[in-house]
Amino acid sequence: MRGRMRADTSLSTLSLDTLAVHAGQPPDPVSGAVMTPIVLASTFAQDGPGNTKGFEYSRSGNPTRNALEACLAALEGGKYGFSFSSGLGATATVLHMLSPGDHVLCGDDVYGGTFRLLDKVMKPMGVTYSMVDMRDPAVVRAALRPETRLVWMETPTNPMLKVFDIAAIAEIAREARVPLVVDNTFATPVLQRPLELGATAVVHSATKYLNGHSDVVGGALVTSDEALAERMRFLQNALGAVPSPFDCYMILRGLKTLGVRVRQQCASAAAIASKLEWHAGVARVYYPGLASHPGHALAARQMRLPGAMISLEVTGGLDAAVGFLKRLQIFSCAESLGGVESLAEHPAIMTHASVPEPARRALGITDGFVRLSIGLEAEADLWADIERALAG
Ligand SMILES: Cc1ncc(COP(=O)(O)O)c(C=O)c1O
């Protein structure tokens, strides 16, 4: 259980809720403490040069981080877990596996920061990318190039909540011998486990549901691919985007309630989405749990529940959307998602401002477009807040 970053396979038959509480976190052998100690040391004493107790320096390895990484691996059903100082830290570390001349095939609707990293950081370094709507797996097959070295997707996507077929795209990537990385931030392993569907690796912004309390910025990667894990282990240390031991503890603490949080948030989101669909002030609702959603059948097959994110188009354009966001009282108008508190935001002005026009509008991120992250407040109170804010 204490082995570096390896999930304990004896835990693999346990359910996610049990793993979230225990994986990587046995009682402390020294004191019996049932909560994982926060080991703040930056360096570890050696019994003579090179004779370590498994730790040398906290960038390359730390006991609290090890506990988190083992827990993350267990939750995603992978062998190796890695944690990072942010979701983008995880993404940037993966992208550093690439060399000039390599090509990334990316889903067309990704977090704006992921797009910015590809477009403004990787492209000038000679790594090219193309973005395609992956709802049709045939489009993915056609867009692969001889120099494609990575397929990257989010599902459900941010913010359009499109659903991509992980198993079908994993099969296409496997045939082309290209790794498929799935950003599982929106779904969490409670709702979908991409590695079981054939993905090579899963990444997360742990800032969101994994931590779940909007008080840590963090990232994660899980894989069972030995070669990829070896490279990530090297790059995690070489690039240094590692989380602090305190943040690792906070994420571990948040993970313990991941299942109950996500299931309750999904239940409230489903109820709110179906009410929004019939509201006169709403032109369109995007929620994979609605029969009207084009990805509904796939989501029902691929996800245990349709998630707790809802996007909608308010009638009346920019003024109506801004007014709605200002009038909300329980929802905070803020970036981010996945916390216990409900958040609402305007992607065109906030999270996706780095996606340029006309691409942003072509995706459907219009002036009246609003994204909701449903938290753990009572659903009736959230709905009353939304109704009041829509009424003007
Ligand atoms: C789907 C998704 N992936 C990655 C990120 C980046 O994560 P972080 O903000 O922790 O760097 C975000 C942030 O919003 C996100 O929504």
Distance CA 179, CA 102 (A): 13
Mean pLDDT computed over 61-85: 98
Q: For residue range 10-58, what is the model confidence (pLDDT) as tens digits?
A: 566 899 999 999 999 999 999 999 999 999 999 999 999 999 999 999 9
The closest residue, in CA terms, to atom 9 on ligand 1 is: 87
pLDDT on residue 4: 40
Residues with Cβ within 8 Å of residue 275, at least 6 apart in sequence: 383
Grouping H, G, I as helix, E, B as strand and the rest as coil, residue 89 is helix
Active-site residue, selected from the candidate residues 80, 102, 108, 111: 111
Label residue 6 by pLDDT band (50, 70, 90). Answer: very low
pLDDT on residue 355: 79
Of all atoms in ligand 1, which is nearest to the CA of residue 217?
Answer: 10
Q: For residue range 217-260, what is the model confidence (pLDDT) as tens digits?
A: 999 999 999 999 999 999 999 999 999 999 999 999 999 999 99
Residues with Cβ within 8 Å of residue 104, at least 6 apart in sequence: 95, 98, 118, 122, 127, 128, 129, 130, 148, 149, 150, 151, 152
Label residue 2 by pLDDT band (50, 70, 90). Answer: very low
Mean pLDDT computed over 178-188: 98
CA atoms within a 13 Å half-sphere pointing along the CA-CB vector of 142: 7
Mean pLDDT computed over 254-273: 98
Distance CA 64, CA 68 (A): 7
pLDDT on residue 271: 98
Active site residue 53: no
Label residue 363 by pLDDT band (50, 70, 90). Answer: confident
Which strands make up the sheet holding 282-286, listed edge to edge? Answer: 282-286, 309-314, 369-373, 343-345, 332-333
Answer for the pair 204, 190: CB distance below 8 angstroms, yes or no: no
Distance CA 160, CA 311 (A): 7
Task: Work out the mean pLDDT of the chain and round it to a whole number.
Answer: 95
**Residue 219, ligand 1, Cβ within 6 A:** yes
pLDDT on residue 137: 98
**Residue 83, ligand 1, Cβ within 6 A:** no
pLDDT on residue 61: 98
- Please check the confidence at residue 352 and state whether its pLDDT lies above 90: no
Proportion of the chain above pLDDT 90, given as a percent: 92
Query: For the chain, what's the residue count?
Result: 392
Active site residue 59: yes
3-state secondary structure 283-345: EEEECCCCCCCCCHHHHHHHCCCCCCEEEEEECCHHHHHHHHHHHCCCCEECCCCCCCCCEEE
Q: Could you tell me the two tokens for 166? A: 């992980």
* Alpha-carbon 343 to chain mean position: 17
Q: DSSP 3-state helix, strand, coil percentages of the chain (rounded to 5)?
A: 40, 15, 45
DSSP 349: T
Beta bridge partners of 286: 311
Q: How far is the CA of 213 from the centre of ligand 1 (A)?
A: 15
Mean pLDDT computed over 96-111: 96
pLDDT on residue 3: 36
Q: Does 362 or 85 have the greater pLDDT score?
A: 85
Distance CA 228, CA 5 (A): 13
Q: For residue range 306-328, what is the model confidence (pLDDT) as tens digits?
A: 999 999 999 999 999 999 999 99
Active site residue 183: yes
